[in-house]
């Protein structure tokens, strides 16, 4: 039976891309692409990103169900042009960078920490071009963005289930400003204006921000919750 590795490699060949070109177009690391092509099925977001770049049916790439690449393009040409079945040449022009088109369904903008500080106060005319648009499979509102974690304050010690290494990406829903105790949040320190990612703590009416790295001190200054983390993406390497 055909494996996901076989399909992933066939889809990349169909798109006429090397693994390096697929990395540049999708944002998925070449090492992860190589692992997927060897049959690793744990990277659902990577599979979705690669399916969009290769322009193949994501369900086919992930499970084998649905039309294979050549079949989907033949069907599209026949249905839209009302022409008889035949051989059609398909041209592929991969994106210049690891990004989807703005407002592609189920994608969110990857923004800077400076932009996150004023995200809720922005107007349409003040919006800047984000670094890129990336897929978010977690349930989220339209007011969601992505941030790259900086520093090691959220890198948990061994034994914690969740950890946020520097360079990993978190998805932040800015409509969720009343988190429960223990949820991860993006918050702005009122006194300094600094924006940070921490664990929200609320016990007996006392609120503070807790780092996962025990080398860092809790933040007990007044702060404003800007949004709640609803998902995370981190490369395996």
Ordered by start, the domain boundaries in the chain are 4-81, 107-233
pLDDT value of residue 92: 37
Distance CA 28, CA 216 (A): 31
Specify burial of residue 84 (Cβ count, 10 A radius: 0-12, 13-18, 19+): exposed
Residue 236 pLDDT grade (very low, low, confident, very high; cuts 50, 70, 90): low
Angle at which helices 4-14 and 44-54 cross, to 10°: 30
Query: Check: CATH 3.55.40.20 for 4-81?
Result: no
Please give the model's pTM, rounded to 2 decimal places.
0.58
Token digits of residue 55:
């322009």
- Give 187 or 121, the one with higher predicted confidence: 187
Of 90-104, 127-141, 162-176, 179-193, the range with the lowest mean pLDDT is 90-104
Tokens read off for 150: 């900086």
Tell me how far apart the alpha carbons of residues 174 and 116 are, in angstroms, rounded to a whole number. Answer: 10
pLDDT for 237 equals: 54
85 exposed, middle or buried (CB, 10 Å; 0-12, 13-18, 19+)?
A: exposed
Q: Judge contact between 44 and 34, C-beta under 8 A.
A: no
Look at residue 162 in the predicted model and tell me its pLDDT.
81
Distances (CA, A) of 60 to 11, 42, 68, 151, 222: 10, 16, 6, 38, 50
Within 10 A of 208 (CB to CB), how many other CB atoms are there? Answer: 15
pLDDT of residue 190: 95
Q: What is the pLDDT of residue 94?
A: 38
Q: Are 4-81 and 107-233 in the same CATH fold? A: no
- Over residues 122-155, the pLDDT tens digits come to 654 455 577 788 888 888 998 899 999 999 999 9
> Which class is 107-233 in CATH?
mainly beta
Sheet order of strands, 132-135 included: 132-135, 107-110, 144-148, 169-173, 223-233, 184-189, 195-203, 206-210
- Reduced to 3 states (helix: H, G, I; strand: E, B; else coil), residue 132 is strand
- Average confidence score pLDDT of the chain: 79
User: In a 3-state reduction of DSSP, which class is residue 79?
Assistant: helix
Count of beta carbons in the 10 Å neighbourhood of residue 49 = 25
pLDDT higher than 70, residue 194: yes
- Summarize pLDDT for 11-57 with one digit per residue, the tens: 898 888 999 888 888 888 888 888 888 887 655 677 878 888 888 87
Q: Read off the tokens for 81.
A: 């042009």
- Which of residues 120 and 223 earns the better pLDDT score? 223
Q: Worst-scoring range by mean pLDDT, 69-78, 100-109, 214-223?
A: 69-78
Secondary structure in 3-state letters for 141-208: CCCEEEEECCCCCCCCCCCCCCCCCCCCEEEEECCCCCCCCCCEEEEEECCCCCEEEEEEEEECCEEE
User: Which residue carries 């070449």 as its tokens?
Assistant: 30
Q: Which of 154, 150, 128, 173 is nearest to 211 (CA)?
A: 154
Quote the percentage of the chain above a pLDDT of 90: 35
The confidence score (pLDDT) of residue 187 equals 97
């Amino acid at each position: 039976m055909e494996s996901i590795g076989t399909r992933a490699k066939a889809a990349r060949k169909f798109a006429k891309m090397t693994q390096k070109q697929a990395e540049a177009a999708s944002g998925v690391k070449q090492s992860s692409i190589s692992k997927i092509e060897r049959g690793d099925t744990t990277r659902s977001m990577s599979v979705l990103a690669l399916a969009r770049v290769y322009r193949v049916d994501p369900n086919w790439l992930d499970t084998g169900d649905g039309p294979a690449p050549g079949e989907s393009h033949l069907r599209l040409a026949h249905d839209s042009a009302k022409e008889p079945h035949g051989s059609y040449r398909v041209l592929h022009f991969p994106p210049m960078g690891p990004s989807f088109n703005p407002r592609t369904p189920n994608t969110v903008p990857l923004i800077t920490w400076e932009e996150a500080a004023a995200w809720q106060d922005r107007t349409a005319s003040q919006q800047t071009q984000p670094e890129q648009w990336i897929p978010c499979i977690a349930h989220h509102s339209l007011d969601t963005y992505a941030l790259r974690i900086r520093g090691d304050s959220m890198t948990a010690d061994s034994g914690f289930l969740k950890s946020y290494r520097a360079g990993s990406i978190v998805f932040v829903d800015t409509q969720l400003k009343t988190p429960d105790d223990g949820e991860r949040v993006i918050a702005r320190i009122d006194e300094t204006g600094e924006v940070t990612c921490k664990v929200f703590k609320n016990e007996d009416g006392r609120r503070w921000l807790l780092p996962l790295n025990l080398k860092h001190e809790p933040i007990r200054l007044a702060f404003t919750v800007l949004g709640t983390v609803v998902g995370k993406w981190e490369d395996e390497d």
